[in-house]
Amino acid sequence: MKLEKMGVPTAPVVTMVFAELVKKVAYNGGMPNKRFTFVPHPIVAVPASVCRDYLQGNDPITGKIVIQEIIEALTKPLTEPEKKVGFLERAEPRLLGPDTAGSLQNLFLKNGWTDYLPIVLPTEEKVAEMLKGTSRKPDEVVGKMQASGAHPMWSYTVEKVAVNAVMAGAKPEYFPVILAIASTGVTSLFTSTTSFARAVVVNGPIRNKIGMNSGIGSMGPFNHANATIGRAWTLVSLNLGGSGMPGVIYQGSQGSTVNYNNNCVPENEEALPSGWEPLHVQKGFKPEESVVSVFSGWGIGRADFNRGGIIHVQIPFFLQTCSPFAGATLYLDPLVAVRLKEEGFDTKKDLVQWAYKSSLIPIEDYWNKYQLIRTFNLPKGEKGVEPYASWLKLPKDALKPRFEKPEDITVLVVGGGTNPAWQLGDFKYIASASVDKWR
């Protein structure tokens, strides 16, 4: 669209599964009538002969001959709608109804405003109650969020976050935590065909004040605050960040169950071995501050049920399951943390540094076996961007650390101490935000 604005006619060619997405992006970008040509999907690794057939065949969406459609996109005179200028406002009404509760539940469901689980209808009374959880004014802007870099930024107020917090079933005392998450501007429903997931960790006194569970079953469906705070982030991302609409905005080919709750957990700070700092302190906050931290990745797997032997030597083995494009977040049961301290890791930093240096990947594998490395890092290296440019010059039999930097590995202590097991997420830290600011 940039070239169109510069006065150069363009003819984009797109694979058919992205038809609704590109039309939406063009619409949001101000060219609702942009001329696209579609070819079958996928094109990745499809032989040239098949590509030729696609070009000489029919556009699977419009039915036109592809090669002619491309020429037409460049040469057919503009229609009146294609020449239009002006603004399209997209205001939404503040209130919905009046209608029966059943009809409103169906409305929310039909419009894709929920996670398809029943919601608490956000009546004015319930939203007013939620707003008592903060001293901030209802019309104050909390932040801006977008489904991806290609999509517009939506802005949202304290009241709008409250509406979604009510829908999630949260209590007013949880609201500052939800506002803090919303203030990061990070969507939990980032759109990519790779099916991103996000994770959130809560630190500080707020965890116990609102009754979060960092012990037995912390990462499971056993606590109201853990469940509804995580869910609220999903609803905020859906309704206030412009995500959702599978096939139009959201493109995750498989999706992720993590999206329901974003693995919302409080760190078990009380179970940290001496010298091991809570996450928020590692990020520069004071221990007495309450903080949320958000992460980006794709999923969580169980790493081990170690009962004997040395624990730390297993860590690089399991880190091999993380793409070098991602990060790694180790959710360690307190029993594992104690053992690692006994094995010589006096601080979380010691463990992270060791894990970083011990998790190596052959450079050939790094450049050739990972889709996202080839898509994003290889072009950067070819452009001369460091450290990728230097990595491109490494000998073919070289080994390098799997992750870009030690900070891409996070260590948390979560769980009830009944089994020295741990879980591994390929989550990379994004940002932290103060909860106290939103009280």
- C-beta separation of 275 from 346 below 8 A: yes
Distances (CA, A) of 123 to 93, 119, 162: 14, 12, 11
The angle, 0 to 180 degrees and rounded to 10, between the axes of the packed helices 175-183 and 158-168 is 120
Within 313-372, the residues that bind another protein by CB under 8 A are: 371
Residue 342 token pair: 């006994």
Residue 228 near another protein by CB under 8 A:
no
Task: Report, in Å, the least distance between residue 163 CB and another protein.
Answer: 5
Task: Show the CA angle centred on residue 431, arms to residues 425 and 437, nearest 5°.
Answer: 130
Using the minimum distance from each CB to another protein, give the nearer residue, 96 or 313.
96
Binding-site member from 19, 23, 122, 335 for another protein (CB under 8 A) = 122
- C-beta separation of 200 from 254 below 8 A: no
Task: Report, in Å, the least distance between residue 373 CB and another protein.
Answer: 10
Using the minimum distance from each CB to another protein, give the nearer residue, 153 or 399.
153
Q: Which stretch binds another protein (CB under 8 A): 36-44, 220-228, 264-272, 324-332?
A: 36-44
Within 264-303, the residues that bind another protein by CB under 8 A are: none
Residue 94 near another protein by CB under 8 A:
yes
Using the minimum distance from each CB to another protein, give the nearer residue, 113 or 260.
113
Using the minimum distance from each CB to another protein, give the nearer residue, 17 or 421.
17
Distances (CA, A) of 327 to 196, 257, 282, 360, 434: 13, 19, 17, 14, 23
- C-beta separation of 425 from 295 below 8 A: yes
Residue 10 near another protein by CB under 8 A:
yes
Residue 15 near another protein by CB under 8 A:
yes
Task: Report, in Å, the least distance between residue 165 CB and another protein.
Answer: 10
Number of residues that bind another protein (CB under 8 A): 103
Residue 67 near another protein by CB under 8 A:
yes
Using the minimum distance from each CB to another protein, give the nearer residue, 9 or 217.
9
Binding-site member from 20, 29, 224, 304 for another protein (CB under 8 A) = 29
Distance between CA atoms of residues 151 and 242, nearest Å? 8
Task: Report, in Å, the least distance between residue 136 CB and another protein.
Answer: 17
Residue 32 near another protein by CB under 8 A:
yes
Distance between CA atoms of residues 302 and 309, nearest Å? 18
Query: CA end-to-end span of the chain, whole Å?
Result: 43
**What is the maximal distance between C-alpha atoms in the chain?**
75
Of the candidates 207, 206, 130, 213, which has an alpha carbon nearest to the alpha carbon of residue 175? Answer: 130
Using the minimum distance from each CB to another protein, give the nearer residue, 235 or 303.
235
- C-beta separation of 358 from 328 below 8 A: no
Residue 76 near another protein by CB under 8 A:
yes
Binding-site member from 209, 349, 380, 439 for another protein (CB under 8 A) = 380
Residue 110 near another protein by CB under 8 A:
no
Task: Report, in Å, the least distance between residue 147 CB and another protein.
Answer: 11
Within 159-188, the residues that bind another protein by CB under 8 A are: 159-160, 163-164, 167
Residue 46 near another protein by CB under 8 A:
yes
- C-beta separation of 249 from 243 below 8 A: yes
Of the candidates 231, 243, 97, which has an alpha carbon nearest to the alpha carbon of residue 156? Answer: 243
Task: Report, in Å, the least distance between residue 28 CB and another protein.
Answer: 6
Residue 193 token pair: 């065909």
> Which residues, in sequence order, are CB contacts of 84 under 8 Å at separation 6+?
none
Residue 235 token pair: 């609803």
Q: Which stretch binds another protein (CB under 8 A): 37-45, 194-202, 210-218, 258-266?
A: 37-45
Within 396-415, the residues that bind another protein by CB under 8 A are: none
Q: Which 3 state secondary structure label does DSSP give 239? A: helix
Residue 242 near another protein by CB under 8 A:
yes
Distance between CA atoms of residues 82 and 37, nearest Å? 16
Binding-site member from 57, 62, 101, 317 for another protein (CB under 8 A) = 101
